[in-house]
Amino acid sequence: MCGVVGAILRDQPALEGILDGLRVLEYRGYDSAGVAAALPEGVAIRRRAGRIEALRAALEDAALEDAALEDGALSEARCGVGHTRWATHGPPNELNAHPHSDQSGRIALVHNGIVENHQELRRELEEQGVEFRSDTDTEVIVHLIARELERLEGESGEAALADGVREALKLVEGYYAIAVLRAGPEPELVAARQGPPLCICVNEVGAWLASDVLALLPHSREVVYLEDGDVARLAPSHYEVFRPDGERVERSPEEIEWRAEDAGMAGFSHHMQKEIHEQPAVLGRTVAARVGDGDADLGSGWSDSELAKLERVQVLGCGTALHAGLIAQFLIEGLAGLPTDSDYASEFRYRSPRLVPGTLALAISQSGETADTLAALRLAKELGCHTGAICNVPGSSLVREADSVLLTDAGPEIGVASTKAFTAQVAGAYLAAVRLGRARGEIDALGADTLLEALRGVRAGLEVVLGDETVALVKEVARSNQDAKGFLFLGRGVNYPVALEGALKLKEISYVHAEGYPAGEMKHGPIALIEPGMSVLVVNSEGGVAEKVRSNLEQVKARGGRVIVVGSDEESLALADERIPVPATSEWVSPILNVVPLQLFAYEIGLLKGCDIDKPRNLAKSVTVE
Ligand code: G6P
């Protein structure tokens, strides 16, 4: 998704730091990039389709977009903004790339989000003589700001950029995180937020802003999160925040525990590989902090008084997070005895959901910024639900808005394909199920201890699954299946969402067609696909449905499909053409172990096919628009 950075520094050039910030945000997914710098004469802008390296090369070229300005001046500018664009309105070319500037060439703007009434605003501005230069929805904002500033200046002689931005945003419908600069002898930098995240920090060098806290970590670990409706004015030594009516408000910095080096590669070839291998440590951390005596200790937002009143749970999420949500459904029903549904957040929000009083709306999200998940949670809140979140990013919108929050402690996840966040979400759901079960009297202290012990034991299992032997085995299986016509992933019960997740990982990383299916449903359609050349990955661990899965597996074999078994069910492993054994564990926690070989499998196939593992095509790490 689009990335926004900006800086206004005391006495050193801003551009290099802005480019570094953009590089940190690359993981979010983008297809063009650009920067603008405030010079005394006006704004200087450079934009390029493609990667940041293309932009960097452009910055080294001779000609500036505004030929009157010197290249040297651009790299010397103390105030600038930068952007990585993930195209929504108009193709990813240079003209549509941000920043966009007003007609006077004094104001430049970068934007993450969507202007819903852009057509209407564009018509109005065109009638007033504005000539648009891009297909984007964003461009209307910069022209509106210029117009509103002119109006304010007409009324009172001069106007601060922040006031022009506030006035312009009153006319904008939609979602935005914007950074705006105005060139001049004293450059101005303003940030505003409605929806997508935006944070700022100030250090001895100057003030910085970014749409993702990771881009600020090299500058400070004391970060201010803007709230919806905030407009902030940044100066080299301080910042001020205003509400839409102009009232000034205090926004205090929060200390971020993540370190800049957590987002590094630590000797691995890819972030995805590193994050897969981090899972034992992540699980250890997530669990250790939350295992109490005879209960899961999730903190004050999860007290008996609220939880005992609950009648139902509605789980919400998107992508991988929803797969963790489907597992959460099994866990909460199975362990805590609470009726539970799960739904795609994007469907839930548009289907007039009927939620009974006493429903816990539980949103699961790595980033805490997914637009559909946030909208679904807000809708559930409006409908009177108690809201909960299992989320990985402290300070994210979801964490700030939910009544009860469980932070997963996976650390920054940079690989677009989610791996460690998924297993941490499943562990989080398990802990929440134990807490709910205790609060409702479904689980006693002894029962909770037994359940928590099983979860604690998963770390050792993960170490086995990530040991050299299993990794080598997965590599071999990937090699022998790389040319398969297609892939079907099957699982049942609590491991059926693992099959969905295995197929999703493979699609995301290697662009091959893969389907995940509940094993029992295979005979109702997908069985027609089975023939020699079709690889079928069957997830099966010991437990209530193991025998059923075994018979599904036999049906695949009978039709010539190539069967690869992942799991601990010995009989299934014996029947398979190829096998990846996983240590035996309680059925309830088995998804955490079973998914890992599937993550590795997707990674290896992606490598064999020469795909860009950490930046898969068309995907964004965090989808902050609909
Ligand atoms: C995007 C990512 C997926 C992720 C989904 C939900 O589609 O590419 O990997 O699972 O968003 O993201 P969230 O941050 O809410 O977990």
Measured in Å, residue 530 CA sits from the centre of ligand 1 at 30
The residue whose CA is least distant from atom 5 of ligand 1 is 319
What whole-number distance in Å separates Cα of residue 595 and Cα of residue 591? 6
The pLDDT score that the predictor gives to residue 63 is: 46
CATH number for 467-612: choose from 1.10.20.10, 3.40.50.2300, 3.40.50.10490, 3.60.15.10.
3.40.50.10490
Q: Which atom of ligand 1 is nearest to the CA of 421?
A: 16
Q: Which atom of ligand 1 is nearest to the CA of 318?
A: 6
Q: Residues near 263 by Cβ (< 8 Å), separated by ≥ 6?
A: 24, 214, 217, 412, 414
Q: Which atom of ligand 1 is nearest to the CA of 320?
A: 10
What whole-number distance in Å separates Cα of residue 4 and Cα of residue 179? 7
Q: Which of 2, 201, 318, 385 is catalytic?
A: 2
The residue whose CA is least distant from atom 2 of ligand 1 is 621
- How confident is residue 185, by pLDDT bands cut at 50, 70 and 90? confident
Measured in Å, residue 243 CA sits from the centre of ligand 1 at 31
Q: Give the pairing type, strands 386-391 and 174-182.
A: unpaired
- Measured in residues, the chain has a length of 626
- How confident is residue 566, by pLDDT bands cut at 50, 70 and 90? very high
Give whole-number Cα distances, 240 to 109, 202, 208, in Å.
Answer: 19, 11, 13
Three-state secondary structure call for residue 143 = helix
Pocket test for ligand 1, best of 622, 624, 625 (most atoms within 8 A of CB): 622
Q: Which atom of ligand 1 is nearest to the CA of 317?
A: 15
Average pLDDT over residues 1-30: 92
**Residue 210 burial (C-beta neighbours within 10 Å; 0-12, 13-18, 19+):** buried
Q: Which atom of ligand 1 is nearest to the CA of 418?
A: 9
Measured in Å, residue 450 CA sits from the centre of ligand 1 at 32
| pTM listed for this prediction | 0.89
Q: Where do we find the tokens 């987002």? A: 263
621 is catalytic: yes
Looking at domain 266-462, what is its CATH homologous superfamily?
Answer: Glucose-6-phosphate isomerase like protein; domain 1 (3.40.50.10490)
Say if residues 48 and 54 touch (Cβ distance below 8 Å). Answer: yes
The pLDDT score that the predictor gives to residue 296 is: 96
Nearest to 5 by CA among 170, 257, 219: 219
Interior angle at CA 32, CA 31 and CA 33, nearest 5: 140
The residue whose CA is least distant from atom 4 of ligand 1 is 319
Measured in Å, residue 29 CA sits from the centre of ligand 1 at 12
Residues flanking ligand 1, CB < 6 Å: 318-321, 365-367, 370, 373, 416, 418, 619-623
Neighbours of 212 (CB within 10 A): 28
Q: Which of 274, 420, 615, 621 is catalytic?
A: 621
Residue 151, both tokens: 């109006």
The pLDDT score that the predictor gives to residue 62 is: 43
Tell me the average pLDDT of the chain: 93
CB-side exposure of 493: number of CA atoms within 13 Å? 19
Q: Do domains 3-262 and 467-612 have the same CATH topology?
A: no
79 is catalytic: no
Average pLDDT over residues 271-277: 97
Pocket test for ligand 1, best of 316, 621, 624 (most atoms within 8 A of CB): 621
What whole-number distance in Å separates Cα of residue 163 and Cα of residue 418? 40
Average pLDDT over residues 587-609: 98
Measured in Å, residue 500 CA sits from the centre of ligand 1 at 14
Measured in Å, residue 320 CA sits from the centre of ligand 1 at 6
Q: Which atom of ligand 1 is nearest to the CA of 398?
A: 15
Measured in Å, residue 430 CA sits from the centre of ligand 1 at 20
Q: Give 400-441 pLDDT, tens digit per residue.
A: 899 999 999 999 999 999 999 999 999 999 999 999 999 999
Pocket test for ligand 1, best of 315, 318, 391, 614 (most atoms within 8 A of CB): 318
Neighbours of 340 (CB within 10 A): 24
- How confident is residue 67, by pLDDT bands cut at 50, 70 and 90? very low
Pocket test for ligand 1, best of 211, 320, 391, 399 (most atoms within 8 A of CB): 320
Give whole-number Cα distances, 191 to 22, 75, 370, in Å.
Answer: 17, 22, 21
Residue 320, both tokens: 């991988």
Bridge partners, residue 316, by sequence: 343, 363
Three-state secondary structure call for residue 181 = strand
Phi, psi torsion values for 485, nearest 5 degrees: -65, -30
Average pLDDT over residues 492-508: 97
Q: Where do we find the tokens 């929050």? A: 405
The order of strands in the sheet holding 32-39 is 42-49, 32-39, 79-85, 3-9, 206-210, 199-202, 222-225, 254-255
Q: Give 205-252 pLDDT, tens digit per residue.
A: 999 999 999 999 999 999 999 999 999 999 999 999 999 999 999 999
Give whole-number Cα distances, 279 to 218, 411, 421, 464, 498, in Å.
Answer: 25, 11, 9, 12, 16
Average pLDDT over residues 546-554: 94
Q: Would you kindly state where each structural domain of the chain is located, as residue ranges?
A: 3-262, 266-462, 467-612
Which has the minimum average pLDDT: 62-76, 139-153, 214-228, 260-274?
62-76
Measured in Å, residue 622 CA sits from the centre of ligand 1 at 6
Q: Residues near 7 by Cβ (< 8 Å), separated by ≥ 6?
A: 14, 17, 18, 21, 79, 80, 189, 206, 207, 208, 209
Q: Which atom of ligand 1 is nearest to the CA of 508?
A: 8
- Is domain 3-262 annotated with CATH 3.30.70.20? no
Q: Give the pairing type, strands 42-49 and 231-235.
A: unpaired
The pLDDT score that the predictor gives to residue 72 is: 61
The residue whose CA is least distant from atom 15 of ligand 1 is 365
Residue 386, both tokens: 């108690």
Q: Tell me the percentage of the chain whose pLDDT exceeds 70.
A: 98
